[in-house]
C-alpha cells in the first residue's frame, strides 16, 4: 500500500504575469487523503486543474494512477473523479439523470450506471430529491450530488477542490463523513481546503502551499511540532491575578509566558506533561490565583500557517470593538 497514486514534480503554470504554480511538488499514497492547504490564490485550484488534465503545465511532470497527465489525459480521466467548489452539475437534469449521464460518459454500461446512481443517491441521502431538477437543490445537496458524480465510475483517485467551502456546519459535517469513508474504502483523495480544521481532521498528510509551491509538508502532528511543542494554558477568574499567574507559569515552563488580557489566559511552553499540571495547580493556589480552566494545548494549524508564512491563513474576521 505504498504506491504513489498522485505524483507531481516541479509543476509550473503561469497566467500572464501571475505564477500560479512555481515548482509545485506533491505526492499521495494509495488509500490516503492528501490535504492541500493554502489561502485563496495560493495555487490550489490550478494544481487540481493540472492534475485533472484540464490545463497543461508550462513545465514539470505529473502522474495520476501512474499515468502521465499530459501524455495520456484520456486514460487519466477514466481513472479520476472530480468534485469542486462550484458543483459541476446540469441544473435542468434531475439528480438521477445527472449521475446516470456522467456514468455513461465514463463508459460505464448504462444498466450499471443506473444501479450505481441509485445506490449513491441512497448513500448520500438524496432519495427524496432524486427525481427533481438540480436547480431545486440546496447547496449541501448539490455538493453531495457532485461528489456522487465523481464516484459513479468508482475511480481509484478523487480530487476535491474546496469540497466544503460555503457549506453550513451541518453540510460540512456530512461531507466530512463521506470523504473519510472514501479513504477507508481504499480511494486516494487529494483535497484542497482553506480550512485548517478540515485538513487537521481528514488528511493523513498535509501540504501547505503558498505562492504556487509547497512551504511545509507532513502530518498535522508533525506540522504542529514544527511550530513548537505543547503549551500549558491557564484561564484565571480575576484580571488582578494575571501577574502572579504569569510568574508562577514562567517558573514552571520554558521561556516567557504569553498573556492574553481579553480572555484572561496565560500560557507557557512546556517540555513534558510529567508533574507539571499538579505543580501548577498547587503553586497557583498558593499564589492566590483562582483558576477557571487549565490544560495542555497543542498549536493549531492556524498558528502553523502563521509561523510559516507570517500571515494568517484566512482573512481575519471583522473585529467587534
Is 97 an interacting residue with respect to other proteins (CB under 8 A)?
yes
- In Å, what is the CA distance from 304 to each residue of 44, 136, 202, 307, 308? 18, 40, 17, 5, 6
Beta 157-161 vs 188-193: how paired, if at all? parallel
Which parts of 239-268 interact with other proteins (CB under 8 A)? none
Is 193 in contact with 293 (CB distance < 8 Å)?
no
In which residue are the cell numbers 489561502 written?
39
Does position 209 interact with other proteins (CB under 8 A)? The reply is no
Q: How far is CA 199 from the centre of its chain?
A: 3
Our CB check for other proteins shows the closer of 105 and 275 to be 105
294 counts as binding other proteins under rule CB under 8 A: no
Burial class (CB in 10 A: 0-12, 13-18, 19+), 302: middle
- The contact pattern for other proteins, residues 25-64, with x = CB under 8 A and - = no contact, is ---------------------------xxxxx--------
Contact pattern for other proteins over residues 140 through 179, marking x by CB under 8 A: ---------x------------------------------
Count the neighbouring beta carbons within 10 Å of the beta carbon of residue 175.
22
Nearest to 217 by CA among 35, 11, 7, 19: 35
Which grid cell is 10?
516541479
DSSP summary character for residue 260: E
Assess 67 for contact with other proteins (CB under 8 A): no
**Candidates 16-24, 82-90, 263-271, 280-288; binding stretch for other proteins (CB under 8 A):** 82-90
In the complex, least distance from residue 78 CB atom to other proteins, rounded to whole angstroms = 4
Q: How many residues belong to the site for other proteins (CB under 8 A)? A: 29
Stretch of 28-36, 85-93, 220-228, 279-287 contacting other proteins, by CB under 8 A: 85-93
Backbone angles phi, psi at 237, to 5 degrees: -80, -40
If one asks whether residue 130 binds other proteins (CB under 8 A), the answer comes out as no
Q: Which is nearer to other proteins, 166 or 312 (CB)?
A: 166
Query: What residues make contact with other proteins under the rule CB under 8 A?
Result: 52-56, 74-75, 77-78, 80, 82, 84, 86-93, 97, 101-102, 104-107, 133, 149
Amino acid at each position: 500500500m505504498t504506491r504513489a497514486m498522485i505524483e507531481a514534480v516541479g509543476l509550473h503554470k503561469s497566467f500572464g504575469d501571475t505564477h500560479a504554480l512555481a515548482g509545485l511538488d506533491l505526492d499521495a499514497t494509495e488509500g490516503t487523503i492528501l490535504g492541500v492547504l493554502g489561502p485563496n490564490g495560493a495555487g490550489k485550484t490550478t494544481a487540481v486543474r493540472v492534475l485533472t488534465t484540464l490545463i497543461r503545465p508550462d513545465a514539470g511532470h505529473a502522474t495520476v494512477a501512474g499515468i502521465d497527465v499530459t501524455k495520456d489525459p484520456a486514460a487519466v480521466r477514466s481513472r479520476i473523479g472530480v468534485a469542486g467548489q462550484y458543483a459541476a452539475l446540469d441544473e435542468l437534469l434531475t439528480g438521477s439523470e445527472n449521475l446516470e449521464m456522467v456514468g455513461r460518459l465514463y463508459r460505464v454500461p448504462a444498466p450499471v450506471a443506473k444501479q450505481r446512481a441509485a445506490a449513491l443517491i441512497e448513500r448520500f441521502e438524496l432519495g427524496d430529491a432524486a427525481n427533481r431538477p438540480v436547480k431545486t437543490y440546496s447547496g449541501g445537496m448539490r455538493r453531495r450530488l457532485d461528489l456522487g458524480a465523481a464516484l459513479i465510475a468508482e475511480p481509484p483517485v478523487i480530487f476535491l477542490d474546496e469540497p466544503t467551502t460555503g457549506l453550513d456546519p451541518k453540510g460540512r459535517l456530512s461531507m466530512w463523513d463521506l470523504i473519510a469513508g472514501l479513504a477507508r474504502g481504499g480511494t486516494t483523495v487529494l483535497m484542497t481546503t482553506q480550512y485548517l480544521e478540515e485538513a487537521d481532521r481528514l488528511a493523513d498528510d498535509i501540504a501547505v502551499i503558498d505562492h504556487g509551491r509547497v512551504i511545509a509538508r507532513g502530518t498535522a502532528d508533525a506540522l504542529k511540532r514544527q511550530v513548537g511543542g505543547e503549551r500549558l494554558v491557564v484561564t484565571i477568574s480575576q484580571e488582578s491575578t494575571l501577574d502572579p499567574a504569569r510568574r508562577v507559569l514562567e517558573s514552571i515552563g520554558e521561556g516567557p509566558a504569553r498573556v492574553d488580557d481579553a480572555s484572561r489566559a496565560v500560557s507557557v511552553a512546556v517540555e513534558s506533561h510529567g508533574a507539571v499540571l499538579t505543580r501548577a495547580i498547587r503553586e497557583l493556589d498558593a499564589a492566590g490565583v483562582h483558576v477557571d480552566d487549565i490544560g495542555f494545548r497543542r498549536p493549531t494549524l492556524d498558528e502553523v500557517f502563521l509561523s510559516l508564512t507570517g500571515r494568517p491563513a484566512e482573512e481575519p474576521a471583522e473585529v467587534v470593538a
